[in-house]
Amino acid sequence: MTLGRYNAIVLAVILVWVSVIDVSAETAHYDIDPDHSTIGFSVDHMVLSKTRGQFMEYTGFIEMDPEAKTVKAIEATIKTPSITTNHQKRDAHLKNPEFFDVEKYPTMTYKMKSYQKTGDGYTAVGDLTLHGVTKEITLVGNFNGVNKDPWGNTRAGFTAEGTVNRKDFGVNWNKALDNGGVIVGNDVLIKLDIECIKAKQ
């Protein structure tokens, strides 16, 4: 091997090594901003319509490189007593032991296990712990980009959807209807609109 070729190979190795360091250095911690985010859900009601609701209190973070659109970690803790469907009596029922049993299980958590870019979007697989049960769920969504707000904060936005069967988590309450079907569907659609703020160094 000539000296010139040897030097070229060494230089190429160094450049690759430096680029790997630069990419990893771009991974940053972003905290979820609950004032500009929504953790929502919908479920069939009496086979006729959808009941929609959301959780109002939660914390979480995302570790990611927005330029490469890669995500290293996503975690969230949601306070189950903060559930609302804009109906006081129904909300009280959802909080009791027939549904979320919020006194015994005051939080549910999500922790991402894997992340994969799919076209313009992504697929994230993680563990959801609800009602004392942990199950793997899949979320499919889009990364909406990064922007600076007027106060100098770097913000990023995501959307995501996924479906869970509530019975998988031991949430089994229901009543049969005279004409067939049940009051509450089993499949619950999760819909997330998340805005997060880059942590300052």
Q: For residue 9, what pLDDT is reported?
A: 52
Q: For residue 182, what pLDDT is reported?
A: 93
Residue 41 lies in a domain: yes
For the chain, the domain total comes to: 1
Residue 186 lies in a domain: yes
Please enumerate in sequence order all residues whose Cβ is within 8 A of that of 101, keeping only pairs 6 or more positions apart, or say none: 95, 131
Residue 89 lies in a domain: yes
111 — phi, psi (to 5°)? Answer: -140, 120
Q: How confident is the model at residue 5 (pLDDT cuts 50, 70, 90)?
A: low
Q: How confident is the model at residue 17 (pLDDT cuts 50, 70, 90)?
A: very low
Q: How confident is the model at residue 157 (pLDDT cuts 50, 70, 90)?
A: very high
Residue (of 64, 97, 61) closest to 80 by Cα position: 97
Residue 124 lies in a domain: yes
Residue 14 lies in a domain: no
Residue 119 lies in a domain: yes
The model carries a pTM of 0.84
Q: What is the CATH number of the domain that holds 150?
A: 2.40.128.110
Residue 66 lies in a domain: yes
User: What residue numbers bound the domain in which 31 lies?
Assistant: 27-198
Residue 7 lies in a domain: no
Residue 24 has pLDDT above 50, yes or no: no
- How many other CB atoms are there within 10 angstroms of residue 196's CB atom? 23
Q: How confident is the model at residue 7 (pLDDT cuts 50, 70, 90)?
A: low
Q: For residue 14, what pLDDT is reported?
A: 42
Pick from 16-25, 122-131, 151-160: least confident = 16-25
